[in-house]
A and B are shown apart, each in its own frame.
Chain A
Amino acid sequence: MILATMIAIPLAAQDGAPPAPYAYRQLDDPAQEAVAQELMETLRCLKCQSQSIADSDASMAGDMRHQVRIRIAAGDSPEEIRRWLMDRYGDYVSYEPVMSATTWPLFAIPALLVVIAGLLFWRRFRRRA
């Protein structure tokens, strides 16, 4: 039994590599770190799909934070980095909503409902007047 628990520990430890240098380390420049942090909160972790990479302790999220931080430090803009990830994983990786062939109804339907409600009100008030 004791032996079994000893064997179980390395299995739970998952991968053997240490975290990427900038997975948990902030950038030295606080302004750059703030920009990186803001971006990381809007990028989706691919392993743990309901968390942002800023919130996740998955090793892959750590590797993504490393990429974000070194690219910010190298002078890339947050939108360039978002674009780089979306070129690889599609809209999925970004929490920032974009209008596309599949998402346009999300933007169009509320606008349509407002127009319909406006028409209904207009008809009612006109009848009463």
Chain B
Amino acid sequence: MSWRLWLPLMVFFGFLGLAAYQLTQPRDEAIKSAMVGKELPYFTLPPASLERPGVDSRYFYDGKPKLLNIWASWCLPCIAEAPQLEQLKEQGAEIVGVAIRDKPTDVMRFLSQHGNPYTRIGRDDLSEVQLGIGSSGVPETFVIDGEGIITYQHIGDIRPEHVPVLLEELRKAGR
């Protein structure tokens, strides 16, 4: 019997092996923003709470790099990242918040329970800013340099190991 007869079967097992291998690999479902390296879209958001002013995209052009944190009071991972945001603030990072589909009462309750590291919090009821910067979920954190350019995107909650990464990205954006 010719070895060539076995060829289709071998190809079949090759596919089977490939599929089995892919099944064991962890899957990365995060959708990266294509806006990294580009300029922030123009936007103006009203305040999301009584304690902080709203957010205007022109605020990101003052020469100082900032963190833009997309969050919501109804988002559980946002509670998990609150201590890390506090830590970033203590180390000198300025954090601007955008609250997605949120109510001022809920926002203020969240801030009183989990701390308020924000200098400004905008209210984005239609996810317009979120869609405008290519964010696909909460929480996400963007580094904006002092000239309105998005230089880095962190997807998901900020864990303790991400704090130095974000500080480094802020430093790089400041040069």
Contacts and interface: CB of A to CB of B under 8 A. Distances in A.
In the complex, which range does the number of interface residues on chain A fall in?
A: 20 to 34
B31 A59 contact: no
Q: Is chain B's interface secondary structure helix, strand, loop, or mixed overall?
A: loop
A73 interface: no
B33 A89 contact: yes
Interface residues of B, number: 25
Interface in B85-104: 100-103
B131 A16 contact: no
B35 A16 contact: no
B133 interface: yes
A45 to B, nearest CB: 10
B131 A63 contact: yes
Contact of A15 (B102, B130, B132): B102
Nearest to B137: A47
Nearest to A61: B127
Contacts of A16: 73-74, 101-103, 106
Nearest to B38: A87
Contacts of A66: 126
- Between A46, A64, A87, the greatest number of chain B beta carbons within 10 A of the residue's beta carbon is seen for A46
B29 A49 contact: yes
Contacts of B127: 20, 59-60, 63-64
Given A63-B127, A89-B136, A46 B31 contact: yes
B133 to A, nearest CB: 7
A88 B102 contact: no
Contacts of A93: 31
Contacts of B100: 15
A93 B135 CA distance: 12
A68 to B, nearest CB: 11
A118 interface: no
A63 to B, nearest CB: 4
Contacts of A17: 101-103, 125
A89 B126 contact: no
Given A15-B100, A16-B74, A63-B126, A88 B32 contact: no
A90 interface: yes
A90 B124 CA distance: 23
Nearest to A86: B34
B136 A46 contact: yes
Contacts of B33: 88-89
Interface string A19-49: 0100000000000000000000000001101
A63 B124 CA distance: 11
A14 B31 contact: no
A64 B128 CA distance: 9
Interface of A: 14-17, 20, 46-47, 49, 59-60, 63-64, 66-67, 85-90, 92-93
